[in-house]
Each structure stands twice: as C-alpha cells, then as structure tokens.
Structure 1
C-alpha cells in the first residue's frame, strides 16, 4: 500500500508562485497597478470565477483556487506584513514634519467622510453600529494603490503627493481605533452589562498596547543592535520576521487583532536606526504575501452579484468616489493647493481601501455584519480599486486643464517642512571623515543624511540626534530610501577600499546624474573609483603628504602664496596621473 506525501496547499502555492512570476513582470510592462491585477486574477481564478466550470472542464481544477481555505490562511500573513510596513512608515519624526496635513486635513477627511457615509448607511436601514463601522471603513482609502500611483508618476515629493500621503498616514493610524471599536460593538461587547463589557475591552486594549510599547521600546533596539553586529543578513531577516509575528501573536492571545500587533511592531521599529534596513529586508515577503492577500480578496468577490444588482452596486461605487473626492478636494483647496491639484487629490483618494477587507472580515467574524453586507462592501471597494488608476489619470488631466484655465494659487506654500525631498547631501560611512563632513555641513546649514553599517556607531550618533541610519550603501534599495536621486551630492567616506568601490558602483548605476565625491586610500584606489564613476576623488595619502609638505615649507619661511601655488600645482599633477 503506497502513501502519497504532499505538503498542505502545495498546488495552491505552485499556482500562485507561477502566476506571480508571470503576472508581476507583465503588469510592470503594461504599467498596470499590481493590486488591481491581483484582484482581477483572484476574481477570474477563484471559486466564483472559472472554478464554476470545473465539472464541465475538469482540467480547470489544476489552475484555479476552488478550495480557498488554504489561500485565506496564507493571506492572513499578507495582512500582518501590510500592517507592519504601515507602522514602519509612521515614525514620529515623519508625523511631526507633516503634522499640519496629517492631523488637520487627515482628521477632517476621516471624520467628515465617516459621518456622511454613516448617515447614508443608517438612512438605508442599517443599525447604528453597522452604519458607524461602514462609515469609518469606507472613509479610508488605499495606501498601497495611491502610493504606487504617485511613485510611478514621481509625484510623491510634490506638494500634492505630500498632502495625499499625509491623509493616508492619518487613515493608517485610524485603523487601530476602528479595530478596537469593532471589538466593543460586537456581541462580546453587547451583553447584559454593556458598560462593564466596554470598560473591560478598553482596559484590556490599553494595557496590552501599553505593555507592548513600553517593553518593545526597551527591548527591540538593543536586540537589533546586538544582532546587527554580526552583519549576517539571514539573521537580520529572521529577527525581523520574529518581531513582527511575535507581536501579532501577543495581541491575538489577548483577544485583539493580529493586525494591531504587527502595526505596533512596525511603529516601534520606525523609531530606530534600523527602519530602512528592515523595510528592504521585508520587501520581497511583503510583495508576495500582499499579492496573495489581494488575490484572496478577489476570490471572495462574486461577479454574479453585480448582474443581480446592476443598479445599486454601480451607484454605490460612483457615490462613494464622488463623496470622498468632493470632501478631499475642498480640504486640499482650503490647505493651499490649487483647484486643479485639489480635484486630482480627490480622485486619488476617492476609492475604498485595502483595510476595508481587513476590517470587514473582523466585523463579520465578530458577528457585527452579515454575509450579504460584507459581500456588498467587498464588491464596492473592489470595483472602486479597479477604476482608481483610470480616474487618477483623468483627474491629473482635468486638474492640469483647470489650473491652466483658472490660474489658481501656486502650490509652493504646502508642506515646506517635509522629510528631505531634494537638495540634501548623502554621506555614506559615518566614521571620522563622515562626522567631520557632517559637522561642516551642519554649520553651513546644509541638510544631510548618513548611512553606516556599524550598528554600535549608528546607535552612538543617533543618541545625539543625528540623522544616521543603519544599512549598506551598496544596496540600491537603501539608496532609494535615502532619496539619493534627489540629492545635491553624495559623499563616499568609508575607509574600506572595497566598500567604497561597491558604493560608487551602486550610486552610479542607480543615479547617473548625481555628483559623487569619494575618499580613496591611495592613488591606485582613486583610479578605481574614477573608473567606477566617481565625480571627484580625494586620495587621503596624497592629501596628507601635501598638507605635511605645506607645513614644512611654511616652517622654512616660504611665503604662503608660494606654498599655496606649489601645493596646488602638485595636486593638479597628481589628479592628471
């Protein structure tokens, strides 16, 4: 008797990885948003798509997801990593830099949108707890879709991009209270003694979150510093996964959402010098698991429901986008953007967000929403995501035309205190030379940011408030996090010849137009760096010799002008070699 030994959900994993290997490059070539593509594939290959014809065409069983249980379980990991990455984006420094837009326009957008949508939902017969949750859920927009659209258009650093991202950050912060609110409004919070249930839930939430934040701040940074000293990428990756999954498990054990724990883990790591390195480490996992998550969402969308409800569903999608777009446009105009840019921002933020899938799923599991309502919300949000890229293009064109016609106020007054968005200096390596350069730049009022691969050194200088991050300057992903493409100049100050050479090669490959000033060990090393693409190279041995010679000549009584001329001639001759 033979036994067949197979891994659980092996077929589903193979189908998904095959689709990802084909789908992602194809979408990039066609410039189609990846999230929309994964949603479409989920609809097509899910239980409500081609799987309906398995009885007629049995071969479809090999390429469709007709059993969604395994996919749904794996997709929960996508939710965890999404919340973890959102937490990483929400550092206190970034929130403070964009505080006017985050806590001004962002708060107003969520409250106004939630109030309008909630009142409409209540007017159409929903109970007030359901209407409240529906309003809050649909008030949120898609961070993943909007940020990707802005990145594709290189508009994230513009006034409109900064304002839009600020609103998205506030929406991300709002997810945590919404998840706690669902726990309060669900059957567990609606027993005979409502006050006691609500009080216990709030107390439990505050205690769990407080303990995680207090102990996390004390433990996470020292642990990462200790492991970073080993300089082993696989250990760093394992530690990142362990932290995110452990905190998700802690909140789940306390009866709260796993997404909440992952969010807190990201938020705590955002305050450390390892933020950028963690983002780079987790990026491949996040992309695949997020694709799986959105594909599983698409599998839950029954296209037949659109045919059964051909009036209310399209009207709901149009109404949602129109209402949110109008609110955002008015808020952006009040904040100083022109009418054209404000309307463009409205269309960018008019859709429902990926958090709706998470929150609605939690609400359904808690018994707060029935299956029919959940399915309707999934369809509305899913369809709004489908049309967002098209609406964004239309909004940009309409905004440009309107601004050209009306000549509205310029956008230059918006978010002038945002994160480094251009004209700064990037210092790679923060040893003695890097610190000296940073001190001079600071005295001249020139903004700078540094990356260093020695965790102990990074910890020392960050404790003094310096913008130094842990990471490898030779990694293209790290250069992107440092906004090297918008830098005025990059200084390569590492004392290891190989590290400096790799950094220059990576810089020149990623940003051919940015000037690179590099430090070299000697003249041979200088030639290697120049061949790799460095703009200017300063050999430390040559400069030390020239400075010693200048001091000796001055001691011999040679006039300063003659000394300076002689040294400059020698320096020029050395550069010509």
Structure 2
C-alpha cells in the first residue's frame, strides 16, 4: 500500500535524523568532531550495523547536494580577482601534488600485484581528496580563509577539474568493445563541457543579478530561498549535463555572485540546506562501509588503507615543503588530505562498467576509500591534540601562569595595541595574551609583556586570570575564534564585562545575542568620522555635523533592533548607551530604508 511505503520512508528519515542527533553531540563532546559522529552514526544504522536503513547509495547521491551547496557558499566568499590571484596555487601546486601522488600511488598498486591499468585507476581515484570532509574540518577550525586553508582549497578545486580527463582515460583503458564505448567521441564531450561552462558564466554575468533584484522587490522571502536553491541546483545540473563536476558548477555560480549585493542573503538562505545535506552525506558514507567485504578481505583492505594513506600523506608533505610551506603546515595538510574522496566512487563505478576493474577489486577499493574517509576525522583530532599539547612549549615565549590584572586583552595586533592605550592611561593593570609567538617577542622592546596563549581555551583564560578581571577585551581578527571566545567567557566568567571586536554587522548581532556587553564593529567608527568630515567639507558647522552623525547612529540602531529578537538585545544596547557598537546594515532588499547595500 502507498501508506505503508510512506510510513517506511518516514521511518528511514526519522532514523537518519535520530542517528545524527545522538551521534554528533556525543562525538563533539569527546572532541572527535561532527564528521566522525556522522560516519559512526551511519555505520550504526546502516545495512552492516543495526540494519535500520539499507539504501546507502541513494542517500549518498541525494546528499551529494550538500557538497554542492558547500562549494557554492565557498564560491560566494571568493571574488574573481581573489580567485585569479590563486591561479598559481590551483594549477601549480595542485598539479604538482596530483601528478606526484598519482605516480606514487600507482606504484603502491603495482607493489600489491595489480595490473598497471588497475593500479593507475585505483591510485588516481585515491588522489581525489574528499572535498566534503576537508571543507567541513576547515570550516570547523575557521581556516578556510587563512593562507594554509586557501592553499588546500586551491588543490581541491584543481582535483575537481580532473574528473573529466580521468573518466576519459578510463574509457581509453577499457577493452575494445563497441557496446561499452562512449556514445560520443572525446572531442564532442570536451566541446559540450566548454559550451555549458560558457553558458553558466554568461548566466552569472547577465541574468542572475537582474533576477534577484526583481524577486527582492516582490518581498517574498520564500521565493528568494527558492531562487537561491534554483541557482545552486541549476548550475550543478548544467555542469553535470556537460560531464563536469556538479560541485564545480556550484562553485563557479558562487564566484559569479560573490560581488553581488545579494550574496549575504543567498548564503543565509542556503546554509540550513547545506548543513543538513552535508550531514546526510556523511551518514551515507558511514552506511556504505561494507563490513562483509572488509571481513572477507581484511588483510588487503587494512594494508591498502595504511599503504595508500601513508604514501599520499608523505607525498603531500614533500610537495608542501617544496612549495616552501612550514613544517607544521605541511604536516597539517598531509594529515587532512591523506584520504580518498567521493569522486573515487564515480571513477571506480565507470571502471567497473567498462570492465577495467573486476567487481571484487571495485568492492575492495570502495571499502578502502570509505574506511580512509571514516578514520580521517579521528586522525585529525589526534593530530590536533598533539599539536595543541606542544604549542605552549615554545622557546623564548612565556605562557600565562596564574596572572592577575583588572583588564585582560586577547589578541595584540593592530586593534589590540591601540585599544590597550585607553586602559593604560586610566592606570589599569593589563594582562595580554596572543597565540602568535612572533607578536609576543615583537612587543617586548616597546615595554609590553605579552604572554603566549590561545584565548579560545578556558584553561588558558583561567591561567591568564580571567576570573579576577573586571574587563576582557577580545581583539583577535578571526570571526569564528571571536565567537568561540565570547561563548566560553560568558559561560565561565559571567561577571566579567566583555568588550569585543565584531567583523561585520551579522557578527555583531550574533555577539550581542551571546550577551557580550560592548560589541564594536571594527570599521564603523572610522566610517562615521569619514562621513562627518565629508559633511564639514560641504559647509556644515561642527554642531550640524555632530547632529547629523548622531542621527546616523540612531537610525542605524533602529535598523539593528529590527534584526534582533523583538528588539530585546538592541533595546538593551540603547538603554546602556552603547549605540557605537551598531554598524550599517546589509539589506536583502535594496530599497529598504533607502540604504542600498552599505555595510
């Protein structure tokens, strides 16, 4: 009956959600990360666990849209000029790593006794790193926009470009059988790929922004969400039609919209779907781990995982060092990218269809890739704890030990240095911590004692005397780190007044909701001064300029209040007289408040 079928599907959905809700918080509590929690939850409910859900491949295919949406969000953060600046890393560093690792992994396959064709396809498939796992770990660490994160993203982008030529090579290696040959010659497939790529770029340049302007005027939020999904899925479908990576299509669409006035709205609309589908993808990968294959060929599978991951990690480390990365960054990259990825499933499936691989080899290689993906978050977590344990033992750098000061400053870069002058003039006793040992050394000649420490760790905050401080000033420049620090401070030291730097308006709203007492948008005050000077240049008196500036503050505070929960937080800000923490809002509707999209 249809009702029974619907009930069965509903049971599967509830089971998947239940596995995620139980496993992820549990694994994060033990410091193992959300990815490993999803994988373990999928393994538990899958056909080789409790058997509650048995269609892992369908779930993976649907949930791959989570990877697609993730790449779209990353694309929104990369303007074309920035992407162009990464061209050397994408094609230079990416090609070096891929070529050397492919040769080395092919040698590993030959050492296991496989033919050179099978060895090459297995090695090439394992070279394609899991974009989903790596990007999720980078996002959790807040490293996507850091230099080392940008290098990893560049390599992942190059690997995504390789799926088409690798599929062509598989077809070339296939036995001579006309029935299995591609329906179209290679030159036609390349021409089709170029055509759809040009069509996507044209749509991004001349169609998308006018469409979103029309929809914004309609003031229907659900339609804007539908349009965001249409752009992502449409770009993915178009690239898939051309034989290219769906994730690459979504990334290109994001890049084309990166300078759009609607990019923040698009990111907010996509985010819930991205997170849910990406979690579903990891659940599916955990379910796909065939324990029967592992049990029957456990020696081969385990040896294959160890050999391939060790060889790939060693190669990545050598390439990173040749590219003049530090030892720490090279180790981090090799640990993070040592696994196979989701594109390997596509490559192996094509090799099986074209009879380049036998079903047994395909099953073993799939198990090896899935197992490598499953253990990567665990290896990353172990590496993170090892590095963290050693990080505070740096020569010539002093760590905070039971210090006391009535002002604690976290981060002593440009903002922290200037912000410290006011409390010093007041006669405050300062305790300063920073997680960059170069900063701690550079401050000494100027009479500042800066201690090494990670302000996101509660044990470091206790050692730095946060429990005795009257004020804690958070002056670091990482949005994710700032939020994490404020969460810890409000939980561990609720009596302390928190003065915090916000990177943008959305971040300011988030920090106010975390009960930070004073939230200062890092560019707001300088922007007000610039505007005030412009008003004076237009002939206004000092009093008139001051009045106009005050009016700008009030109007902005009113807009800020509309963005928070019933005005609760903004109302408190106004009562406290802390209007200086409000910056200019970014509107999804360009006509709202007549403000356009000023940030």
TM bracket, shorter-chain basis: 0.5 to 0.7
Paired position in structure 1 for 2:94 = 106
1:238 Cα offset (Å): 0.3
* Structure 1 residue 317: Cα displacement: 1.6
Q: Is the CA contact 2:231–2:253 (under 8 Å) kept in the aligned structure 1?
A: yes
In structure 2, relative to structure 1, the CA distance for the partners of 1:424 and 1:100 (3 Å cut) is farther
Report the equivalent of 2:313: 325
Cα offset, 1:100, TM superposition: 4.9
1:521 counterpart (541, 548, 551): 551
In 1, distance between residues paired with 2:124 and 2:270? 29
- The secondary structure found in structure 2 opposite 1:311 is helix
Contact 1:344 1:398 in 2 (8 A): no
Q: Which residue of 1 aligns with 2:456?
A: none
Query: What CA distance in whole angstroms lies between the structure 1 residues aligned with 2:209 and 2:173?
Result: 36
1:3-42 → structure 2 map (5 Å cutoff)? 6=6, 9-42=9-42
Cα deviation for residue 250 of structure 1 reads 3.2
Matched, 1:169 2:150: no
Distance in structure 2 (CA, Å) of the matches to 1:424 and 1:363: 56
* 2:66–2:281 Cα contact (<8 Å) kept: yes
- 1:32 Cα deviation from its structure 2 partner: 2.8
Query: In the alignment, which residue of structure 1 is the partner of 2:237?
Result: 249
Give the corresponding residue for 1:136: 124
Give unpaired runs (5+ residues) of structure 2: 397-412, 417-477, 486-498, 526-548, 558-570, 584-599
Secondary structure at 2:133 match in 1 = helix
Farther off after superposition, 396-405 or 64-73: 396-405
The 1-side partners of 2:250 and 2:48 are apart by 31
1:182 deviates by: 0.9
| Secondary structure, counterpart of 2:298 in structure 1 | coil
TM-score (structure 1 length as normaliser)? 0.64
Q: Which residue of 2 aligns with 1:300?
A: 288
State the superposition RMSD in angstroms: 4.5
Deviation of residue 318 (structure 1)? 1.8
**TM alignment of 1:79-228, pairs within 5 A:** 79-85=67-73, 87-88=75-76, 91-122=79-110, 124=112, 126=114, 130-154=118-142, 162-183=147-168, 185-186=170-171, 197-228=185-216
Determine if contact 1:351/1:381 at 8 Å carries over to the other structure. Answer: yes
Mapped contact 1:142–1:351 kept (Cα < 8 A): yes
How far off its partner does 1:405 sit? Answer: 9.5
Gaps of 5+ in 1: 52-63, 409-421, 426-478, 493-499, 540-577
2:374 aligned residue (386, 411, 431): 386
Change (3 A) 1:353 1:338: same
Give the drift of 1:400. 7.3
TM-score scaled by structure 2? 0.62
Per-residue CA deviation, residues 195-248 of structure 1 (Å, 9 max, x unaligned), is 982222222222222222223322122212332344443222100111222233
Please name the residue that 1:534 is paired with: 578
Q: CA deviation at 1:281?
A: 1.6
How many residues are paired up?
450
Conserved? CA contact 1:105–1:167, under 8 Å: no
Distance 1:78 1:399, change over 3 A: closer
SS in 1 for 2:185: helix
Q: Give, in angstroms, the shift of residue 350 of structure 1.
A: 1.8
Q: Distance in 2 between matches of 1:386 and 1:170?
A: 21
1:52-73 CA-to-partner distances (Å, cap 9, x unmatched) read xxxxxxxxxxxx0134575355
Distance 1:73 1:119 in 2: 31
SS in 2 for 1:312: helix
Matches within 5 A, 1:312-351: 312-351=300-339
1:168–1:249 distance in 2 versus 1, CA, 3 Å: closer
Q: In the superposition, relative to structure 1, how do residues 84 and 529 fare at CA in structure 2: closer, same or farther (>3 Å)?
A: closer
8 Å Cα contact 1:340-1:400 kept in structure 2: no
Is this contact kept in 1: 2:90–2:157, CA < 8 A?
no
- In the TM superposition, residue 353 of structure 1 has moved relative to its aligned partner by 2.9
